[in-house]
Amino acid sequence: MPITTHSVKTYYDQNTNLFLKFNNSKKAQNIHRSLWKDEIENLEDALNYSNSLILKEIEVMNVSSPRIADLGCGVGASLFYIFPRLQNPKPALGLTLSPVQAKLGKNSANELNLKNQTLFSEGDFTSVPLANESLDVIYSVEAVCHAVEPEKYFREASRLLRKGGKLILVDDYQATRPFTSHESKWLKAYIDGWFVPGVRTIDQIIEFANKNNLNLIKNEELTPYLRLRNLPDFLASTILFFGNLLPIKHAILPSMLGSMALQQCLYMKIVEYRFLVFEKS
């Protein structure tokens, strides 16, 4: 079946509480990946490394009272890391397709005394209820990969950003080379399992961005900082084959198979994990 915006929403509605339950860090409730750069010594810092990169990009803009939005915010962990560390930020938006995630974000905002400073809302990041040029910064972590039509994301980001504003992405991108049929099998297993129809090559992403007056100013590969857990190919292929035969309807099964497929893709360099920064001209 084709992946739709509704199926992505259902995927996160069903899986979010399980993702959080099995999160090994109770301090950093991120449901994105940990990054183990040389100086990082604990899981909390590894989970927050991508958040720290985003924070630095906002800080170097020297904007007083920055207006920011996390599009595809999950349960708000990135926003809760970044927002309190900014100088006099204006109220920030966290947008997610999942009502389960939006509710969890609101609950955490209440607990952190950020209820009046962070707004969590259920919605589609290709149609955001904000005025033109109302934001200084938009960022998305492992979110644009879920877009059924990723070009619409860049069109909306451009509409929302003021001139000189930044779009910051941390996400997966296809390698810019031909794939063997075996490699294509693993890429499809990852896309289907994790509901990520928006995974594109860097060249395709740059084309989408340039069409919408967004110019790439930073491109850093983060894959070397991941601790990969890939399996021997025969074992992984066997698990994938029998996993696809199981009559389990809950979205946790495709998620588990997709996670395994992603590890294979990263190991075989089919997929790259990157940090991209664009500036609106």
Over residues 147-178, the pLDDT tens digits come to: 999 999 999 999 999 999 999 999 999 999 99
What pLDDT, on a 0 to 100 scale, did the predictor assign at position 198?
98
Q: How confident is the model at residue 25 (pLDDT cuts 50, 70, 90)?
A: low
In angstroms, rounded to a whole number, what is the distance separating the alpha carbons of residues 198 and 191? 9
- Say how far residue 189 (Cα) sits from the centre of its chain: 18
Q: What is the CA radius of gyration of the chain?
A: 18
pTM: 0.96
H helices present in the chain, as ranges: 5-21, 43-59, 77-82, 99-111, 150-160, 181-194, 202-211, 233-243, 252-267
> Is it the case that residue 27 has pLDDT exceeding 80?
no
Whole-number Cα distances in Å, 63 to 26, 60, 98, 122 = 32, 8, 31, 28
What is the arithmetic mean of pLDDT over 10-32? Answer: 81
Distance CA 145, CA 135 (A): 22
Residue with tokens 């990263």: 266
Helix, strand or coil, per DSSP, at residue 89: coil
In a domain, 203, yes or no: yes
Q: What is the mean pLDDT of residues 109-119?
A: 95
What's residue 60's pLDDT? Answer: 96
Sole residue written with tokens 């900082």 = 225
User: Would residue 62 count as lying in a domain?
Assistant: yes
- At residue 195, does pLDDT exceed 70? yes
User: What pLDDT does 22 receive?
Assistant: 77
Q: Whole domain around residue 145: which residue ranges?
A: 5-174+197-227+269-280
Which pLDDT value is given to residue 249?
A: 86
Mean pLDDT score of the chain: 95
Q: Give every CB contact of residue 192 below 8 A, 6+ residues apart in sequence.
A: 3, 254, 258
Q: What is the C-alpha separation between 222 and 37, in angstroms, rounded? A: 9
Unique residue bearing structure tokens 């069409």 = 211
User: Residue 243 burial by CB count (10 A; 0-12/13-18/19+): exposed, middle or buried?
Assistant: middle
Residue 16 sits at φ, ψ, to 5 deg, of -55, -50
Q: Residue 132 class from Cβ within 10 Å (0-12 exposed, 13-18 middle, 19+ buried)?
A: exposed
- Residue 247 belongs to a domain: no
253 occurs within a structural domain:
no
β-strands 68-71, 135-141: how paired? parallel
Residue 4 pLDDT > 70: yes
Mean pLDDT of 200-225: 98
Question: Is there a domain that residue 19 lies in?
Answer: yes
Please give the tally of structural domains in the chain: 1
| Whole-angstrom distance, CA of residue 145 vs CA of residue 166 | 19
CATH of the domain at 26: 3.40.50.150
Q: What is the mean pLDDT of residues 39-66?
A: 95
Q: Is the pLDDT of residue 258 over 90?
A: yes
Percent of the chain with pLDDT over 70: 98
In-domain check, residue 96:
yes
56 found inside a domain: yes
Average pLDDT over residues 137-153: 98
